[in-house]
Amino acid sequence: AQSVSQHNHHVILSEAASLELGCNYSYGGTVNLFWYVQYPGQHLQLLLKYFSGDPLVKGIKGFEAEFIKSKFSFNLRKPSVQWSDTAEYFCAVKGGGATNKLIFGTGTLLAVQP
């Protein structure tokens, strides 16, 4: 069965610090990978996604993620965080099959201090 692990449950950073959130998945076949963000009191929004091609994916608001197949990882990065990046971040994976189902990680709560 597919699974997604986000090892950082709660991260606190100061503004301008660099961010890297870990995401590892377990699935041996072709995968599609996503990062979603949930700002306080809001619904989930797509940050970025990887389907194929260049393993370095750029998303909105200066976020990027790198797919490393050998490590089963899809870590999210941002060189310099802002207070407005305070949110919960979810990694998700879709493996084979026709149902388009996503498996979500448990989320990482990021708090950026001004």
From 25, 90, 110, 112, residue interacting with another protein (rule: CB under 8 A):
90
Measured from the CB atom, is 52 or 70 closer to another protein?
Answer: 52
Q: Taking CB under 8 A as the criterion, which residues in 1-20 touch another protein?
A: 4, 9
Residues 24-44, buried b or exposed e (16+ Cβ, 10 A)? bbebeeebbbbbbbeeeeeeb
C-alpha distances in Å from residue 38, one per residue of 17, 41, 89, 110: 20, 8, 6, 10
Q: Among 11, 13, 17, 44, which residue interacts with another protein (rule: CB under 8 A)?
A: 44
Residue 70 as a binder of another protein (CB under 8 A): the answer is no
**Rounded alpha-carbon distances, angstroms, from residue 55 to 8, 67, 85, 92:** 22, 5, 23, 16
Q: How far is the CB of 96 from another protein (least distance, A)?
A: 7
Least distance CB 41 / another protein (angstroms)? 9
Q: Which is nearer to another protein, 18 or 30 (CB)?
A: 30
Amino acid at 74: F
